[in-house]
Amino acid sequence: MSEIFLDKDIDLKIIQQKKISIIGYGNQGRAQALNLRDSGINIRIGLRINSNSIPAVKKDNLKYLEIQESVIWADIICLLVPDKKIPEVFKEYIKENLNSNKTILFSHGFNIHYKQIEVSNENDVIMVAPSAGGKIVRSEYKKGYGVPSLIAVHNDASGSAFELAKAYAKAIGSGRVCIFKSTFKEETETDIFGEQAILTGGLPFLINQSFNTLVEKGYSPIVAWFVCYYEIKTIVDLFHDIGFEEFYDKISDTARIGGILSGSKLIDDSFVEKLKSLLEDIESGSFYKRLSEEQDKKIPNSFKKIDEQTKFFFKIIRKLRN
């Protein structure tokens, strides 16, 4: 079982004595930067000279430096630009400006696990990976809560890298919920698998195909949209906090019996083998090798009809609310 840490287990002093540079000001970079600032941490945002993010940084009353300057200034360099841009940023701005006292922090293990960049063994390399997008990381912090984070250490040159990762996770609010000890390998492979099997692969495609099946058989598109798309959130909200067993106890007999019978029919042995195949592609590196070839992969046209219903419904709702 993974080790779990809470605020009470973590001393924030180790990070309060550090200067932190956040490279990138997208959703995750902004959220973590603001949470760190509100936790009393000394931060700067590292940006390119003509970055489009400069107005947003100024609006948030944060200080910024050109990337290279921020790397020289900082004790901890947080690489929060998109995964595919990290090798370029590291090579151009960071690699030559590292000394043995600096720590590199990631929020996803991808580039270290797949050896896209290599950091000297003289530097601490750590990961703090919040389990939500930046908008939620920030909103939960402001409510006095937080989102769970996975933390890991790749290099421990200082002997205190793990304590530093815990303190950073606490500073962005994760210690209010839970912080899990993991590894770069585990975080990377499970994150990609979860996306492909459920979050961005399995679920959207299942919803869309179910919608199309009803429409092709002559059912009203808006009714098909309601039962296949709109109701997803209410169902997920229900089982999210109570688990599947209690969830099935709370729904109607028709929904419970139909769900169990059809679920085992849909998720059969052949489906399980497909899941295993997805995981094998991730573990072997086959998926990673295909990434560069598929960067321009477009959203399937098959989503067009269901997206039209989504826009139609929420356009009506906005009009009614105004």
Q: Write the single-letter amino acid at 101.
A: N
- Per-residue model confidence (pLDDT) at position 1: 59
Q: Write the single-letter amino acid at 98.
A: L
Clarify whether 108 is annotated catalytic.
Answer: yes
CATH number at 4-182: 3.40.50.720
C-alpha 67/C-alpha 86 separation (Å) is: 13
Residue 2 has pLDDT above 70, yes or no: yes
Of the given ranges (19-33, 67-81, 287-301), which has the lowest mean pLDDT?
287-301
293, exposed or middle or buried, with CB in 10 Å at 0-12, 13-18, 19+?
exposed
Answer whether 96's CB lies under 8 Å from 52's CB: no
Provide the angle, in degrees to the nearest 10, between the axes of the packed helices 27-38 and 161-171. Answer: 90
Mind listing the pLDDT tens digit for each residue in 296-306?
677 777 899 99
C-alpha 47/C-alpha 18 separation (Å) is: 20
Q: What is the mean pLDDT of residues 154-163?
A: 96
C-alpha 241/C-alpha 14 separation (Å) is: 34
Domain(s) labelled CATH 3.40.50.720 in the chain stretch across 4-182
- DSSP-derived letter for residue 149 is E
User: Is residue 294 very low, low, confident or very high in pLDDT (cuts 50, 70, 90)?
Assistant: confident
Residue 198 has pLDDT above 80, yes or no: yes
- Per-residue model confidence (pLDDT) at position 273: 97
Residue 227 has pLDDT above 90, yes or no: yes
Decide which of 96 and 34 is more confident.
34
Provide the angle, in degrees to the nearest 10, between the axes of the packed helices 269-284 and 184-194. Answer: 140
160, exposed or middle or buried, with CB in 10 Å at 0-12, 13-18, 19+?
middle
User: Is residue 292 very low, low, confident or very high in pLDDT (cuts 50, 70, 90)?
Assistant: confident
- Per-residue model confidence (pLDDT) at position 229: 95
Answer whether 94's CB lies under 8 Å from 73's CB: no
- Per-residue model confidence (pLDDT) at position 28: 95
Q: Which of 108, 113, 154, 240 is catalytic?
A: 108
